[in-house]
Chain A
Amino acid sequence: MVTYEADAWTALGDPTRRAIFARLAERPRPVGELAHGLPVSRPAVSQHLRVLKEAGLVTDRSAGNRRIYRVDPDGLAALRTQLDRFWNEALANYKQLVEQSTEEDE
């Protein structure tokens, strides 16, 4: 299955996107304001926002001639991302243990 939560995880793997996301977590902001104070161009910020949006982490709406971005109020995507990571870690630990104990029996 192609997972949306894996995308969210990858999206936050980039430090600039984490910085953008952290600023949106404080309050909704337009692109111009996000770009101001970050060491990247406005088009680059727009590109990062597109990735965050596709990952289900942020949403946007029009306000006059601007677009206002905010953290996705659904929250479900973030919970799924986190639980997906939790269980993948758990199952990786588990696989190692099962296969180790099977070898010990031989």
Chain B
Amino acid sequence: MTTQAEQTSVQTAIVVEAPVERAFQVFTEDFDRIKPRDHNLLEVDIAESVFEPRAGGRVYDRGVDGSECQWARVIAYEPPERIVFTWDISPQWQLETDLSKASEVELRFIPEGDRRTRVELEHRHLDRHGSGWEGLREGVGGEQGWPLYLGRFAERVA
């Protein structure tokens, strides 16, 4: 049995062998090396991913040609406990132009001793990205909808 909230979110967690302050600091300062590089909305390779460590900060990728793609906004920055940022990327991996359709990601850093921290991640309100599947309901055969996307997705899984 899953609740509605579980169906519209993704949750994962990891335990790291480090004090909570460091665990928090590394996430924001080394975000460039954390974000999987193959997820790129720019037309060129990513030179750097930047996480601005403050509420109201931007999260963006900078391409090798200097172009930028901002794909998240920091909503809460509460060291060493919690970070919340928006996810302004549509199910088709394009920027959401309507920011009311953005979902959000929360990270919680929970000390489990002096040198151990549990990091919980919740990516929630995925249903806000509505149009991705509403469009599909209207016509599963639509070539630009989920079928194409899922087909590509299936090809990439190996």
Contact = CB atoms under 8 A, between A and B. Distances in A.
Interface residues of A, number: 41
Contacts of B8: 76
B146 A75 contact: yes
Interface in B108-134: 115, 119, 121, 123, 126-127, 129, 132-133
Contact of B14 (A26, A84, A91, A101): A91
A87 B123 contact: yes
B50 interface: no
A25 B30 CA distance: 38
Contact of A73 (B11, B23, B127, B140): B140
Interface residues of B, number: 45
Contacts of B154: 12, 18, 21-22, 25
B10 A25 contact: no
B16 A27 contact: no
Interface stretch (B31-39, B63-71, B78-86): B31-39
A97 interface: yes
Interface in A21-67: 21-22, 25-28, 57
Contacts of B146: 25, 71, 73, 75, 78
A6 to B, nearest CB: 10
A101 B30 CA distance: 11
Contacts of B151: 21-22, 25-26
Interface of B: 2, 7-8, 10-12, 14, 16-19, 22-23, 26-27, 30, 33-36, 39, 91, 115, 119, 121, 123, 126-127, 129, 132-133, 136-137, 140-141, 146-151, 153-155, 157
